[in-house]
């Protein structure tokens, strides 16, 4: 029978609590540290299993001493692909973990490199302007991936590689094309969208055309703005459509993630319907 702190019988090296690598790990708590090192932090079995299946460049794993068999089985899979796996005192690992849901498993991976042209090969595209909440950002990315969007463009707002975003995105941060731009790059972005044949549609809480009465562009960039400032004036001017989701009486509005889900799945429904009609 294998040792409880082993991966399929291979005894793992143990890191001391003062190991300098742990200090470097703490750098990944900040956006500056993540982009300086080109790495980000993942935690928990589900996210790290997605990372392995998606071919993410995992650099190393930290496993808590006494973690579950499920954790050690995943560590063994990672080790077979050449990922370095180390053991760490469970208490120390929990202090390093961004949330209380690490399950005794942390991973460090390279930030995927995606350029704007890669994102623009897909259709539709989600364009997020100034979405500040990491949880909302992650949910939006997860929703866009599930709805078959081709990719996402984040202008300002939350870092997609914030641990809370990574957790909420359920793998979308590294299994879905996305690119992050600064607000001053919006004119360049609008030009690139136009050259790639995209038309912009903005989601608005009030005053837009009824979503279900609207025609959808063939190649669409759906623009959603942050909770405070909304969609930028530049994107509003460039948009060919402004849509509002009709709500039942007494309901004021949907949050940004719910609104994105409604619109993106409506777009998916129409694309699938058009494909079926083309086959008939």
pLDDT digits (tens, 9 = 90+) for 163-216: 999 999 999 999 999 999 999 999 999 999 999 999 999 998 888 999 999 999
Which of 110, 142, 160 lies at the terminal end of a domain, its last residue? Answer: 110
Binned at pLDDT 50, 70 and 90, residue 162 comes out as: very high
**29 burial class (0-12, 13-18, 19+ CB within 10 angstroms)?**
middle
pLDDT in tens, 112-129: 999 999 999 999 999 999
pLDDT in tens, 140-158: 999 999 999 999 999 999 9
Around 110, how many Cα atoms within 13 Å sit in the side-chain half-sphere? 10
Count of structural domains within the chain: 2
pTM of the predicted protein model: 0.88
Are 12 and 99 part of one and the same domain?
A: yes
CATH value at residue 178: 3.40.1280.10
User: Lowest-confidence range among 19-23, 169-173, 216-220?
Assistant: 19-23
Would you mind telling me the total number of residues written for the chain in this entry? 280
Is residue 20's pLDDT more than 80?
yes
Q: Domain range for residue 37?
A: 6-110
Contact 111, 38 (CB under 8 A): yes
- Residue 258, in any domain of the structure: yes
- CA 28, CA 258: separation in Å to the nearest integer? 30
User: SS3 of 97, please?
Assistant: coil
Sheet holding 178-181, edge to edge: 178-181, 151-155, 125-129, 220-225, 199-203, 241-244, 209-210
Query: In what order do the strands lie in the sheet containing 105-110?
Result: 39-43, 105-110, 58-64, 84-88
C-alpha 86/C-alpha 80 separation (Å) is 14
Nearest C-alpha neighbor of 217 from the set 234, 201, 238: 201
| Distant-in-sequence, close-in-space partners of 254: CB < 8 Å, separation ≥ 6 | 205, 245, 247, 262
DSSP 170: T
Residue 1 belongs to a domain: no
Res 9 pLDDT > 50: no
Helix, coil or strand: residue 154: strand
Domain membership of residue 259 (yes or no) is yes
Residues 140 and 98 in one domain: no
Last residue of a domain, one of 63, 82, 110: 110
Percent of the chain scoring above 70 in pLDDT:
95
Answer whether 180's CB lies under 8 Å from 160's CB. Answer: yes
- Give the end of a domain, one of 110, 139, 174: 110
């Amino acid at each position: 029978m294998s040792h409880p702190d082993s991966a399929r019988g291979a005894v793992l090296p143990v890191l001391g609590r003062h190991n300098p690598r742990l200090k470097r790990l703490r750098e990944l708590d900040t956006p500056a540290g993540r982009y300086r090192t080109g790495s980000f932090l993942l935690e928990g079995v589900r996210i790290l299993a997605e990372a392995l299946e998606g071919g993410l460049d995992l650099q190393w794993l930290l496993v808590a001493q006494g973690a579950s068999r499920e954790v050690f089985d995943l560590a063994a899979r990672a080790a077979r692909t050449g990922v370095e796996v180390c053991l760490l005192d469970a208490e120390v690992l929990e202090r390093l973990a961004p949330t209380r849901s690490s399950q005794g498993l942390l991973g460090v991976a390279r930030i995927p490199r995606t350029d704007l042209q890669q994102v623009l090969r897909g259709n539709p595209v989600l364009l997020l302007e100034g979405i500040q909440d990491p949880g909302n950002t992650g949910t939006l990315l997860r929703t866009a991936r599930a709805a078959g969007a081709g990719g996402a463009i984040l202008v300002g707002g939350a870092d997609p590689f914030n641990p809370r975003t990574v957790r909420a995105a359920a793998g979308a941060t590294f299994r879905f094309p996305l690119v992050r731009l600064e607000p001053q790059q919006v004119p360049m972005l609008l030009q690139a969208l136009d050259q790639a044949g995209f038309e912009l549609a903005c989601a608005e809480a009030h005053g837009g055309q009824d979503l279900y009465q609207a025609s959808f562009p063939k190649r669409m960039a759906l623009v959603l703005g942050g909770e405070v400032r909304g969609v930028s004036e530049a994107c509003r001017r460039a948009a060919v459509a402004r849509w509002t989701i009709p709500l039942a009486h007494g309901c004021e509005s949907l949050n940004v993630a719910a609104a994105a889900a409604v619109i993106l799945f409506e777009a998916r429904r129409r694309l699938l319907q058009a494909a079926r009609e083309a086959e008939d």
